[in-house]
């Protein structure tokens, strides 16, 4: 694969150690192997990895929840909650995070009927906030002291519901279109 070539695929159980290593390398929040396996067993289509140079270089894992809409008050919905997303530093700014997030949102909507996607992001993580805003996420709430180190988090959300435009094309498909091919 060339510099900008990579492959997006569903996580497999053999990927666990590599994903845990990427999480430990990139993020201060770490999880037990049971937590990863549990999310994979319950929501396998929203646990997505990206491979480049023969190895996994990033991942996203989500869980599907029932709860109140983050975008519309008091409306019960099915939510695709991004629990963790990370791409190793040498592989950033190549569209990997964008495309694993798009794949997880597409799968959350199509496979699990989620109508919204949301995540928490550190208020100081401007590159991630900018990425999410480019994808159409909006800040809906500030959770004070959310992280163990006391930093606040923005809750950001996006609608995944299909809305038809005058051509009958799904707006979701427009917004979740790939910048680069998802599979090589």
- Predicted confidence (pLDDT) at residue 165 exceeds the cutoff of 90: no
> In this predicted structure, what is the pLDDT of residue 29?
87
Task: Give the C-alpha distances (Å, rounded to integers) separating 24 from 28, 84, 99, 145, 146.
Answer: 7, 12, 21, 21, 19
pTM: 0.84
Q: Does domain 7-175 have CATH number 3.60.15.10?
A: no
Place of tokens 């051509």: 167
* 147 in Cβ contact with 122 (< 8 Å): yes
pLDDT of residue 181: 39
Task: Report pLDDT digits (tens) over 98-137.
Answer: 999 999 999 999 999 999 999 999 999 999 999 999 999 9
Indicate the domain borders of the chain: 7-175
Torsion sign across C-alpha atoms 99, 40, 171, 142: negative
Ramachandran quadrant class, 103 (left: phi over 0; alpha: psi -120 to 50; beta: rest): alpha
Helix spans in 16-138 (H): 16-26, 33-42, 96-112, 126-134
Task: Mean pLDDT check: name the lowest of 44-48, 57-61, 177-181.
Answer: 177-181
Sorted by sequence, the CB contacts under 8 Å of residue 160 that are 6+ apart come out as 80, 105, 108, 109, 114, 115, 116, 117, 172
Instruction: Return the higher-pLDDT residue of 53 and 183.
Output: 53
- Which helix (H) or strand (E) segment holds residue 10: the answer is strand 7-10
Structure tokens at 160: 């995944």
User: In the numeric block, which tokens belong to residue 21?
Assistant: 């290593």
Q: CA 152, CA 163: separation in Å to the nearest integer?
A: 33
Choice between 28 and 162, residue whose per-residue pLDDT is larger: 28
């Amino acid at each position: 694969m060339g510099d900008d070539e990579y492959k997006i695929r569903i996580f497999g159980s053999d990927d666990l150690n590599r994903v845990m290593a990427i999480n430990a390398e990139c993020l201060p929040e770490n999880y037990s192997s049971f937590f990863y396996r549990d999310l994979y067993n319950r929501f396998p289509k929203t646990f997505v990895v990206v491979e480049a140079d023969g190895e996994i270089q990033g991942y996203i894992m989500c869980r599907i929840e029932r709860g109140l809409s983050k975008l519309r008050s008091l409306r019960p919905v099915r939510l695709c909650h991004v629990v963790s997303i990370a791409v190793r530093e040498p592989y950033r700014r190549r569209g990997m995070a964008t495309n694993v997030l798009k794949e997880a949102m597409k799968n959350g909507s199509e496979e699990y009927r989620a109508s919204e996607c949301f995540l928490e992001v550190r208020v100081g993580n401007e590159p991630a906030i900018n990425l999410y805003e480019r994808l159409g996420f909006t800040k809906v709430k500030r959770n004070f002291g959310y992280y163990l180190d006391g930093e606040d988090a923005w809750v950001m959300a996006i609608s995944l519901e299909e809305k038809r435009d005058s051509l009958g094309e799904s707006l979701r498909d427009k917004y979740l279109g790939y910048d680069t091919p998802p599979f090589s």
